[in-house]
Amino acid sequence: MSLALTLSVLLPLPLAALVWRLGAGPRTRLAVVLAGATAVVAFSAVVAATAPALPRPLADLQIGPLVPTRLAAGVVVAALSAQVLEVAIGEGTTPGLAATSVLLAVPAVVVLTATGLVAVALGCGAALGVVWVRWARSAGPQLPVRSLARQAMLAMGALLVGAVITPSVEQGAAPGILVAILYAGAVTSLMGVIPFSLIPGASRRVGAAEASLWRVWLLPIGAVLGLRLVAASPHPIQLPLQELLIGLGVASAVFWSLHGLVADPGSRYWSVAAADAGLVAAAVGLGSVTALGAVLLLLLAHWLSGAVLSEDAGRRSQLVAWVGVSGTPPFGGFAGRLLLVLAAAPVSSTLATWLLAVMGLQLAGSALGMRAATQAPRRPPGGRTREAAALLVAVATLVIGVVPQQALAAVFGVHL
């Protein structure tokens, strides 16, 4: 088992170099598909034997082993598949981007499977750092890109310091809120949630294809890390951490869903995605099984539709994709947000009301996106195959809302 896991951690390195070497075009796409297939085989071999829900203990001061889980396998494989979609459907993808995406599988596997928080901290810093280097290459050291570099170092530092203070909290000496702030800072930094909402700004500067690295890798890594921290932290840390994630998540969701109403058509998708990242953070804070379902469904919806919607308006498939993420019943975006409201209702009616308000704002923002998709002049679709793939993916965003339980079971092995 450890051999298969080691291979799955180390394989992306030569594959990333291979993708870089192959250059743009069909060969790059083939290489990325091969990388995804390799990861599927490696992880399937690993998780076939045993599949615990979440690896524990997380706050261990030892390095600890890597424990593969079905959830981690699902996240890594789905993220690689989402990047394949980005390469296949999106415009402006380059060999460097494909290589970076394959490379990101390494810190992702470490963060998702390591039991020791020191290794997780370095993995988080590495994931953010790789994206920073990539964005600095493509856009130069502009402010959002510099902020990502700071976030990388701060997230790593916050997790390291949180890990070493946690034993003092368990002894009753140190205040739990201090560690909760550190953990929440690291999680929101990965997820692009307030106070670390640099993603929509960065997406304008680095381009839609480059910005997909956040949607595909950083957001799910942050979400699963947050779920693990909420589940594994001692009680004095757990409660304030949940409150912080819920508060910051809802604030971020409200801000970005309002921003989606006034954003220009080219960047509206990123506002909607950032608002959904806020909802994901709130769901992570709730920490229940229903909330886990909401997290995974929203991630799945954006993995599927993001490659279509982040492009400039003018594709027929965009209308279908907007319907999928908009919150129109019973499709993907609606199912995820509804599960979140169902998870929040027993906890606080005020929270449920705020979430319903965000659902409405997201629907309104997406409706503007739908209108732009229908009114924009038709662009050359870049080949029938590409447009057909985009349409297929957009339809899949609709389908996951109709059969959410089956979708979650198939991709993540999670049974609601």
Partner 1 sequence: MGPSLLAAGGFLAAAVALLASGTRGAIASALCLGAGFGGVAYLAGGAASLAVPLLLGMVCAMMIWAGGLGARVGSLVWLLGRAPVVGRPRVFSQRSFRLLLGLGGLLAARLLSGHLGAGTISTQGPAFACLFAWEVGAIRIGTGRGPSDLALGALAIGMGASAFILLDSGGGAWQAAALAAGGPAVVLGFFAHAQPWEVQG
> Which residues contact partner 1 (rule: CB under 8 A)?
61-63, 116, 118-119, 121-122, 125-126, 129, 133, 136-138, 140-141, 146, 149-150, 152-154, 156-157, 160-161, 163-165, 167-168, 171, 173-175, 178
- Compute the residue count for the chain: 416
Through-space distance between the first and last CA atoms of the chain, rounded to whole angstroms = 28
Q: Which amino acid does the sequence have at 314?
A: G
287: alpha, beta or left, given left = phi > 0 and alpha = psi -120 to 50?
A: left
- Nearer to partner 1 among residue 168 and residue 288 (C-beta): 168
- Nearer to partner 1 among residue 38 and residue 188 (C-beta): 188
- Nearer to partner 1 among residue 14 and residue 167 (C-beta): 167
Cβ 294 to partner 1, closest distance in Å?
33
- Nearer to partner 1 among residue 153 and residue 363 (C-beta): 153
Cβ 213 to partner 1, closest distance in Å?
16
Q: How far apart are CA 107 and CA 128, in angstroms?
A: 9
- Nearer to partner 1 among residue 59 and residue 277 (C-beta): 59
Cβ 167 to partner 1, closest distance in Å?
6
Strand-pair partners of 116? 60
Cβ 378 to partner 1, closest distance in Å?
36
Q: How far apart are CA 175 and CA 226, in angstroms?
A: 20
- Nearer to partner 1 among residue 135 and residue 334 (C-beta): 135
Asked if the bond preceding 52 is cis, omega within 30° of 0, the reply is: no
Residue 18: partners with Cβ closer than 8 Å, 6 or more residues away? 31
Q: How far apart are CA 261 and CA 372, in angstroms?
A: 12
Cβ 163 to partner 1, closest distance in Å?
7
386 and 88 in contact (C-beta within 8 Å)? yes
Q: Which of 102, 128, 124, 104 is nearest to 114 (CA)?
A: 124
- Nearer to partner 1 among residue 36 and residue 176 (C-beta): 176
Q: How far apart are CA 282 and CA 210, in angstroms?
A: 26
Q: How far apart are CA 181 and CA 176, in angstroms?
A: 9
Q: Which tokens sit at 415? A: 């049974």
Q: Which of 75, 179, 59, 65 is nearest to 127 (CA)?
A: 75
Q: How far apart are CA 91 and CA 254, in angstroms?
A: 30
- Nearer to partner 1 among residue 60 and residue 311 (C-beta): 60
- Nearer to partner 1 among residue 10 and residue 61 (C-beta): 61
- Nearer to partner 1 among residue 121 and residue 250 (C-beta): 121
155 and 190 in contact (C-beta within 8 Å)? yes
Q: Give the SS3 label for residue 114.
A: strand
Cβ 65 to partner 1, closest distance in Å?
12
Cβ 313 to partner 1, closest distance in Å?
30
Cβ 121 to partner 1, closest distance in Å?
8
Q: Where are the alpha helices (DSSP H) in 264-348?
A: 268-286, 289-309, 316-326, 332-344
- Nearer to partner 1 among residue 122 and residue 280 (C-beta): 122
> What Cα–Cα distance (Å) separates residue 313 from each residue in 71, 106, 206, 380, 397?
34, 34, 18, 11, 18
Cβ 86 to partner 1, closest distance in Å?
22
Phi, psi of 142 (to 5 degrees): -75, 170
Q: How far apart are CA 285 and CA 264, in angstroms?
A: 31
Cβ 169 to partner 1, closest distance in Å?
9
Cβ 71 to partner 1, closest distance in Å?
24
